[in-house]
A and B are shown apart, each in its own frame.
Chain A
Amino acid sequence: MSNLDDMKSLWHTVETDKLPSSTEMLKLIRKFRRHKLRSKWLIIVSCFLLSCLVVSALLIVHFKMITTYAGGTLVVIANLLLAVTNIKSLKRFYHLDDHDNLKFLEFIAKTRENQLHYYQRTMVIIISLSGGGWILYMYELLYHYPVWCIIIYFIMTVYLGIMWFIVRPRAFKKDQEKLNATRENAESILNQLK
C-alpha cells in the first residue's frame, strides 16, 4: 500500500452515500445560515437604535443641564464604538472564505490577538464611556427626586460594580485560555507551512 496510486484508489473507496442529499442540505442551510453571525448583527442594530433614541431625546426634549447632553454624547460614542468594532469584525468574517489556508491562519492568529486587545482595552473604554454617560444623562431627571436619585444611582453602581469586578474578569479569564490555545494552534500550523 506504500505506492501513491494504491493509496489513491483506496482513498476513493470511502463510502459517501450517507451524506445528506442536496435537498436535505438546502433545508439545513436555510435553518443555519447566518446563525453564527446573528449575535454580532443584533449588537450592531441595538447600538444604532439606542444611539438614535438618545439623540432624538436630546434633540426633542429641551434639557436644562449640560450634564444631560454630555452624558448622552458619551453614551452615543460608546454605542458607536461598540458598533464599529463589531462591523469591522463582521467585514473580516465575510471576506474570510476567499483566503487560502496560509492567509486564513494568519487571520485567525490576528483575530485572537484583536479579541484579547478588545477585552484589555476597547471593552474598558466602552464600559467607562457608557457607565459615565448614563450617570451624567440620568442626573437631571433624578435631580428633583433625591430619594429616587439615591436608589437609582445605588442600583447603577452595584450593577456596574458587578459587571466590572466580577463578570468581566471571569469572562476574560474563560476566553483568554481558549483564545491563547487557538492562537498557538494557528501559529503552530503556520510554522508547519513555512
Chain B
Amino acid sequence: MIKFEELYSRYSPQVFRVCLGYTNNKDHAQDLVQETFIAVWNGLSGFRNESQIGTWIFRIATNHCLRAAGKSKRMPFAEMPLDLSAPIEESLEEKVSILYRCIGELEESERIIISLELEGLPQAEIANVVGLSNGNVRVKVHRIKDKLAIKLKAYEQFR
C-alpha cells in the first residue's frame, strides 16, 4: 500500500514546478498543488496501477492546470531597462524568473509539455500524461525547445 505522506514528499516539489511553469504565479501554483493532492488522496484507494503512480499524479496536476486555464494569464514581458548598453549581471533568481516568464508566454499545451520535459519525465510518460503518441511528443518537445530558446535569446538581447 502506497503511503500518501511518501507520495506527497516525493511528488509535491515536482508538481509545484510543473504548476509554476503553467501559471508563472507562485500562489496560484501552490493552490494547484493543494487541489492536485486532494484529488490524489480521494483517488488513491481506487488507483488501479494501470499506469505508473507518477504518471497518474502528473495527469491530475496538469488536468487541474488546464481546468484553471481561464484564470491564468500569460505574463507580460518585463519593462526594458533604461540604459541598454549597461552590462547587467543576472542573478540566479533573475535567470529562473526569466525562464519561467518565457515558459509562461507559450501556449497552454506547450507549457505543459515543456514543464514535464524539464522536470525530467521520459517522453513516453509525457505522452501518457498528455494523451499524444510518443512520436508526436518528440516533435512537439523539439519545436517548443526551439521556440523557448528564441524567446530566451530575445529576452537576453533586450536586457
Number of A-B pairs, beta carbon distance below 8 Å: 129
> B108–A100 contact, CB under 8 A?
no
Bitwise, B1-18 to A at CB < 8 A (1) or not (0) is 000110011001100110
Q: Could you tell me the dominant secondary structure of chain A's interface residues?
A: helix
A32 within 8 Å of B (CB atoms): yes
Chain B residues with Cβ below 8 Å from A10 are: 92, 95-96, 99
A166 within 8 Å of B (CB atoms): no
Cβ contact of A105, chosen from B66, B96, B145, B152, cutoff 8 A: B66
Question: Count of chain A residues with Cβ under 8 Å from any Cβ of B?
Answer: 42
Which parts of B109-159 form the interface with A (CB within 8 Å)? 109-110, 112, 117-120, 128-132, 145, 148-149, 152-153, 156
Chain B residues with Cβ below 8 Å from A103 are: 131
> A101–B41 contact, CB under 8 A?
no
Cβ contact of B59, chosen from A4, A22, A97, A192, cutoff 8 A: A97
Chain B residues with Cβ below 8 Å from A3 are: 149
Q: Complex Cα distance A22/B11, Å?
A: 11
Shortest distance in angstroms between A18's beta carbon and chain B's nearest beta carbon?
7
> A102–B130 contact, CB under 8 A?
yes
4 new A-B contacts at CB < 8 Å, known A1-B95, A8-B118: A13-B96, A16-B17, A22-B4, A181-B70
> What are 27 contact pairs spanning A and B, CB under 8 A?
A7-B99, A13-B96, A14-B17, A14-B96, A14-B100, A16-B12, A16-B16, A18-B30, A19-B12, A19-B16, A19-B33, A22-B4, A25-B8, A25-B12, A29-B41, A32-B34, A97-B59, A97-B63, A101-B59, A101-B109, A101-B112, A101-B129, A102-B130, A104-B131, A182-B70, A186-B66, A193-B131
